[in-house]
């Protein structure tokens, strides 16, 4: 599958990102919408949204915010069900990491759902949590990677 990585620049693209997140987090995983949408769901200089399209169709999304110690905090990483297990999640995360490097950031930090920990480990992330923690009713671990 040929994928195109888009650094979101307009409200139409942002709406596509939010639709993917609603589908994955709110509908599939039952995360309350008031926990899913927050102050970073805008186009601005403190947040960068990324959209992956496959065949012109929105397939995956994620966002990064500036974090402590020159790190990017990777958040809201979501892949539509029909695009999972096709490498689209890897394309998304590697694209987000490339963007973070372009922004001069040297480290990536993310809070991974425990069921996805092995996926991030394969991409070079190390778990730094001593034990899982709850986020929106879903067990997570904190992971990091040097960029």
Q: What is the pTM of this model?
A: 0.94
Measured CA to CA in angstroms, residue 88 lies from 17, 56, 85 at distances of 15, 14, 7
**Domain locations in the chain as residue ranges:** 3-107
User: What tens digit of pLDDT does each residue of 89-108 get?
Assistant: 999 999 999 999 999 999 99
91-94 long-range Cβ contacts below 8 angstroms, 24+ apart: 91/3, 91/5, 91/52, 91/60, 92/5, 92/50, 92/52, 92/60, 92/61, 92/62, 93/62, 93/120, 93/123, 94/123
pLDDT tens by residue, 22-57: 999 999 999 999 999 999 999 999 999 999 999 999
**The pLDDT of residue 1:** 65
CATH 3.40.630.30 fits 3-107, yes or no: yes
Instruction: Enumerate residues 6+ apart whose C-beta is below 8 A from 25.
Output: 31, 36, 76, 78, 136
pLDDT digits (tens, 9 = 90+) for 77-87: 999 999 999 99
pLDDT of residue 2: 85
Q: What percent of the chain has pLDDT over 90?
A: 97
């Amino acid at each position: 599958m040929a994928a195109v990585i888009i650094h979101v620049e307009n409200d139409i693209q942002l709406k596509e990102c939010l639709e993917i997140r609603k589908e994955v987090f709110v509908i599939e995983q039952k995360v309350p919408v008031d926990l899913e949408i927050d102050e970073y769901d805008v186009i601005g200089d403190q947040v960068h949204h990324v959209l992956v399209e496959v065949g012109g169709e929105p397939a995956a999304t994620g966002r990064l915010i500036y974090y402590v110690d020159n790190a990017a905090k990777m958040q809201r990483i979501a892949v539509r069900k029909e695009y999972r297990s096709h490498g689209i999640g890897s394309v998304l995360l590697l694209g987000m990491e490339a963007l973070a490097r372009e922004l001069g950031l040297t480290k990536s930090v993310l809070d991974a759902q425990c069921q996805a920990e092995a996926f991030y480990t394969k991409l070079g992330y190390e778990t730094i949590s001593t034990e899982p923690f709850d986020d929106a009713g879903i067990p997570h671990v904190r992971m990091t990677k040097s960029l």
